[in-house]
Amino acid sequence: MDYLRKIIGLRIKEFRHKRGFTQDKLAEKADLHHTFMKKK
């Protein structure tokens, strides 16, 4: 399960970087609190 989380997290990070989003900006667009995006 940890492996799957790592892969998903890396894909999200790749998505963010390609679009120039910060974690805060992605959280805003996803209608989530910014601290939720930063949890491990």
Within 10 angstroms of residue 25's Cβ, the number of other Cβ atoms is 14
Look at residue 11 in the predicted model and tell me its pLDDT.
96
Q: How many domains are there within the chain?
A: 1
pTM of the model: 0.70
On the question of pLDDT at 16 being above 80, the answer is: yes
As a whole number of Å, the CA-based R_g of the chain is 10
On the question of pLDDT at 40 being above 70, the answer is: no
Look at residue 35 in the predicted model and tell me its pLDDT.
84
Average pLDDT over residues 5-30: 93
The answer to whether 8 and 15 have CB atoms below 8 angstroms apart is: no
On the question of pLDDT at 13 being above 60, the answer is: yes
Which residue range forms the structural domain that includes residue 11? 2-37
Q: List, as one string, the DSSP characters of 1-40.
A: -HHHHHHHHHHHHHHHHHHT--HHHHHHHTT--HHHHT--
On the question of pLDDT at 6 being above 80, the answer is: yes
